[in-house]
Structure 1
Amino acid sequence: MNLQTKRINSANASVSGEILLKDLENKLNKIATKISKTVKMDGFRKGKVPLNVVKSRYKENIEQDAQKEAVEEMLQLGLKELQIEPKDVIGDPIITQFDKKDDFILTTIKISLKPSFKLEDVNAYVPDVKLKQITDKEIENRLNDIAKNKAPLIEAKKDKKLAKGDVANIDFEGFINDKSFEGGKAEGFDLTIGSGQFIPGFEDALIGLKIGESKDINVNFPENYQASDLAGKDAVFKVKLNKIQIKDEPKVDDELAKSLLPEEKTPSLATLKEKIKEQLELEAKTKLYNEELKEKLIENFNQKIDFDLPDLIVEQEMDLLFRNSLNTLDPKELKELQSDPKKAQEKRNSFKEEAQKSVKITFIVDFLSKQENISVEDNEVLQTVYYESMMSGQNPKDMIDYYKKNNLFPALKMAMIEDKILAYLLDKKLAKEPKSLKSKEEKPTKKSKTEAK
C-alpha cells in the first residue's frame, strides 16, 4: 500500500497511499461472492447466480463498497502508524485525493482530531464584575409602580377625559367600504389605552373622549396583519365610550407586602423593599452579563487561548454560516452568487474567522463543562423551546417538531451550556467582590408582549 502518514499539527493529520487495483479486485470478488449467495434473480436458483452476472448487475454498488472498504483499511493502518486512537478522531475523515493510475489509486485522507489544550487558571480570562449600587430612589420607584399596578380599578367621574393608562369600556363596529366585516364588532369591550392591543392609531384616537361620546376612527390595517382579507386595507371604526375606569390611589403599606409576599411568615414593607432591592440587583447583573461581560469573556478566550483547530470542523462551520447567510440576502445578490462560483467561494471564505472563533469557543466550553461538571438536561432544552414558542405566539408542538426535524436540539443545548458556564464563571468572580456589590442568584422572569388585535 506504500503508506505515508503526516501529523500536520496536534489537531490535523493525513494518510496517503496507493490502493493496488489487484487488491481492489480481490475485494470486489469477495463482495460479489457474498451477494451471489443471497440474491434472487430470474432464471437462477438462489445462491447459484454466476459471479460475472452479479458483478455486471450490481457493478456500481460493488465498486463503491470495495473502494470504501479499501479506504477504511488505509485509514485504520494510518491511525495505527500515527498512534492515534479512533476515539480521538472528530468528524468524518475526508478523501482529498483519489487519482486512478494504471496499477493503483493514489489516495489521500485528511483527518481531524480533538484538540489538546490546558486551562489552568480560568479566572484569569474572566473580566472584573462590578455591579452598580441600587439606590433608595430606584427601590421607591419600583415599589410605587408595583403598588400602582396592584391598585384596584374604580369608575371615573362623568366629566373625566380618557387618557393613556385608563381602561375604556367601548362599543365598536368596523367598516371597510361602508360594509361591516367579521370580527370587527364588540359591545362592552374593556381596552387599556396605550396597551397596543388594537391596531396602530386606534387607541390614540380615543384619547380625550368623555363618557357617552362617540367617534369615527379611520385606521389602516398593517400589510402583515394576521387576517389576510383585512391586511393593508383602510377601515372606519364607529366607537362609543361607555365608561372609564382608572386606578385607585395606590397604597404603599404592610398590607401591600402581605399581598405580594404570601410565603413570608411576617411580611412587612421593609421586607418587600429588601425583595425589590434583590430583584433590581438581579436585573442589573443580568443586563451587565448579557450586554457586556459574556461577550468580553468569550473574546478573552478567543484572543488569549491558542491551540490547533481541526480543519474539517472549521470547514463545516464555514458551510453552516454561509448557508445561513443566504437566507438574509436580497434576491439580486443571491442570484449573483448562484451564477458566479468564484463569488460564492469568496463569500464562504469571508466566514473563516467567525467559524474559527465559534469552533474554538465550542471546544473551550466543552472542556469547562466537564471540568466544572456543568450540564443541561434534555428536559431543560425542551422547556426552553416550549417557553419561547409560547412567548412568540407559536404552537409549542409545531416548534418542537421543527427542532427535531432540522436536528437543532444539539446546537441549542450547546448554546445553553455555554450560557450557563459563562454565567457560572462571572458569578465566581462576583463572589470575590465586596459584599455590598453581590446579588442573589435567581432566574429572571420574562414578560409576555401583548399582540396587536
Structure 2
Amino acid sequence: MQVTETLNEGLKRGYAITVTAAELDAKVNEKLAEAQPEIEVKGFRKGKVPMALLKKQYGQRVLGEAMQEAIDTAMSDHFEQSGDRPAAQPQVKMTNEDWKEGDDVNVEMTYEKLPEIPAVDLSVVKLEKLVVKADDAQITETLESLAKNAQDFEAREEGAAAENGDQIVFDFLGKVDGEAFDGGAAEDYPLVLGSNSFIPGFEDQLIGAKAGEEKDVTVTFPEEYGAAHLAGKEAVFECKIKEVKAPKAAEIDDELAKKYGSEDLETLKGQIRERLEADFASTARQVTKRKLLDALDAIVSFELPTSLVEAEAAQIAHQLWHEENPEVHDHNHGSIEPTEEHNKLAERRVRLGLLLAEIGNQAEIEVTDQEMTQAVMMQARQYPGQERQFFEFIQKNPQMQQQLRAPIFEDKVVDHIVAQAEVTEKEISKDELKAAVEALEEEIA
C-alpha cells in the first residue's frame, strides 16, 4: 500500500493512496478464510469447502468490503502517523474509474487539518465580574406580585355591575337548537371575567351583569372545537348571576408566605433575595463570558480551516435571513450569500470554538453522564407527555447529543478560564446590568 502526498498548502492536505491488486486479493482471501469454518456448500461438510470454490462463489461479494476496509485502514494509519486531525470528514474518491478486478485501486483523499493551537497564559486575562445586590424595593415589588397572584375575591356592593377582572358566581345551562347538551351546565360556577377560560365572546357578554340578574349569552363554538357535535354550532347559555366579586390582593404577611411554602414573611423575603440575586448573577455571567471571549479573541491568532469558516458563515447567514423573514418556515428559498460581516463573525466563532476545545482538552474537562441526563431532562420538559420518546430520540441521535453536550462543555471551560484569570468584582445596579446586556445585544446585532 502506497500513500503519496499530493497537496500541502496551509491546512489543506491531499494524498494519493494505492492499494495493490495483490494486497486486495490477500484481503479477500483473509476474509474468506475467517468465514470458511461456518460456510456450508452442497457436497462439502461445514468448514471443508475449498478456498477456490469459496472465492468463485463469494469473492465478488467480499471484494467491495475488502476494498473499503483497505482504504479505511490506510486512512487510519495515515492520521495516526501524521498526527493530523481533519477539520471535517475527508473527501475520498476513486481516481481509476475504469477499475476492473485485478487492477490496483487508486484513491485520492483530501482534507483540511485542524491547526496547532498556541498555548495561552490564562493568568494574563483580566476580567470584571459584575455583582448586583437585590434591594428592598425589588423585594417589595416581587412580594406585591406574589400577593396579586394569590388574590382573593370579595363581594361588591349590592347592585354593582361586573367589571373585567371581577369574579362572578353563576348557574348556566347551554342549549343548541333548543336542546341542552352534555357538559353545558353547572351551578355556582366561579368565573373570572377576562380569563378567557370560556368560549370566545362568552365572558365579554357578562361584563356589566349584576347579582340576581338572568341573562342569555349567545356564542358560536369554534370550528376546531374538541367535541365534533358542537363544533361550529351556535349555542345559547341561560345564565343566572348569583354574586359579583371584586379582586382583592392578598395581604403581605406570614399567611402569604405560607401560601408559597415559607415559614414566615422574613423567610420568604430571604428566599426572594436569593432568587433575584441568582438571576442577576446568571445575567451578569453572560456579560463576563462575552468579555472573556473578546479578550481571548484579541490575544490569540492562528490559521483557520476554510471549510469550517465557510460552513459557519453559511449557517449564520441562513439563520439571520429566517429571523428577518419569519413568515418563511421551510428552506424552499434561494441561496443566501454570506456577507463580509457574516464571514468575520464566522471566523471569530470558529477561532474561539477551536481555542476553547483545546483548552478544555488540555485541562481534561469532560461532560459527565449526570450533566447530560440533566440537560436531556430539561429539554424533555418542552414535550409534555412525550418525554420517553424524546429520551429515545436523543439516545439514537449522536448529533443531538453533541448539540446538548457542546454548551455544557463550553460553560465548564469558561469557568476553568475564569478561575485562572485575574478577576475583580464590581457592584452595579439592576439598571446598569440591563444597560450592559443591551449594549452586548447591540454589538451582536
| TM-score with structure 2 setting the length | 0.68
For residues 12-59 of structure 1, give each alpha carbon's deviation from its aligned partner in whole angstroms, at most 9, with x where no partner exists: 644323222233223223333443443122343323334444334334
For the residue of structure 2 that corresponds to 1:99, the secondary structure is: coil
Instruction: Determine the structure 1 residue equivalent to 2:232.
Output: 233
Residue 390 of structure 2 is matched in structure 1 by 399
For residues 300 and 178 of structure 2, the distance between their equivalents in structure 1, rounded to whole angstroms, comes to 69
| 5+ long unaligned stretches in structure 2 | 431-445
Whole-Å Cα distance in 1 between the matches of residues 392 and 9 of structure 2?
A: 41
1:373–1:43: structure 2 CA closer, same or farther, 3 Å change rule? closer
Instruction: Please say if 1:432 is aligned against 2:424.
Output: yes
Cα separation, 2, equivalents of 1:254 and 1:368:
51
What residue in structure 1 maps to residue 92 of structure 2?
Answer: 95
Question: Does 66-75 or 415-424 show the bigger shift?
Answer: 415-424
Count of aligned pairs: 418
Read off the aligned partner of 1:414 and give its amino acid letter.
Answer: A
Identify the residue that residue 66 of structure 1 maps to in structure 2: 66
Q: Percent identity over the alignment?
A: 23
Contact 2:297 2:348 in 1 (8 A): yes
Q: Secondary structure at the match of 1:434?
A: strand
The equivalent residue for 1:445 is none
Residue 211 (structure 1) aligns with: 211
- 3-state SS in 1 of match to 2:425: coil
Is the CA contact 1:12–1:113 (under 8 Å) kept in the aligned structure 2? yes
Paired residues of 1:382 and 1:400 also in contact (CA < 8 A): no
Backbone CA RMSD of aligned residues: 5.1
Q: 1:89 to 1:231 in 2, by over 3 A?
A: farther
State the alpha-carbon separation in 1 of the partners of residues 185 and 379 from structure 2. 32
Is 2:141 aligned against 1:141? yes
C-alpha distance in 2 between matches for 1:295 and 1:133: 21
Q: How is 1:205-354 mapped onto 2 (pairs within 5 angstroms)? A: 205-213=205-213, 214-219=215-220, 221=222, 227=226, 229=228, 233=232, 235-236=234-235, 238=237, 239-248=239-248, 250-253=250-253, 256=256, 262=262, 269=266, 273=269, 275-287=271-283, 305-308=300-303, 334=332
Cα distance change, pair 203–431 in 1 and its aligned pair in 2 (3 A): farther
- Alpha-carbon spacing, 1:191–1:139, altered in 2? closer, same or farther (3 Å): same
Match of 1:414 in 2: 406
Equivalent residue, structure 2, for 1:106 = 106
Structure 1 distance, partners of 2:217, 2:265, is 49
Q: Which runs of 5+ in 1 are unaligned?
A: 338-342, 439-453
TM-score scaled by structure 1?
0.67
Q: Secondary structure at the match of 1:44?
A: coil
1:315 and 1:434 map into 2 onto residues whose CA distance is 39
Q: Shift of residue 286 of structure 1?
A: 4.0
Q: Deviations over 1:315-369 (max 9, x none)?
A: 998999999999x9969963xx8xxxxx7xx569999988877665554454455
Residue 216 of structure 1 and its aligned partner are, at CA, apart by 0.9
Alpha-carbon separation, structure 2, partners of 1:424 and 1:161:
63
SS of alignment partner, residue 433 of structure 1: strand
Give the Cα–Cα distance (whole angstroms) in 2 for the partners of residues 259 and 430 of structure 1: 45
Letter in 2 for 1:31: K
Cα displacement string for residues 119-178 of structure 1 (whole angstroms, at most 9, x for unaligned residues)? 43388496x565667565443332222233345444444434333443333444556666
Q: Which SS does the other structure have where 2:96 is aligned?
A: strand
Instruction: Establish whether residue 15 from structure 1 lines up as the match of residue 7 from structure 2.
Output: no
Deviation at 1:63, TM superposition (A): 1.2
- Counterpart amino acid of residue 251 in structure 2: K
Q: What amino acid maps onto 2:148 in structure 1?
A: K
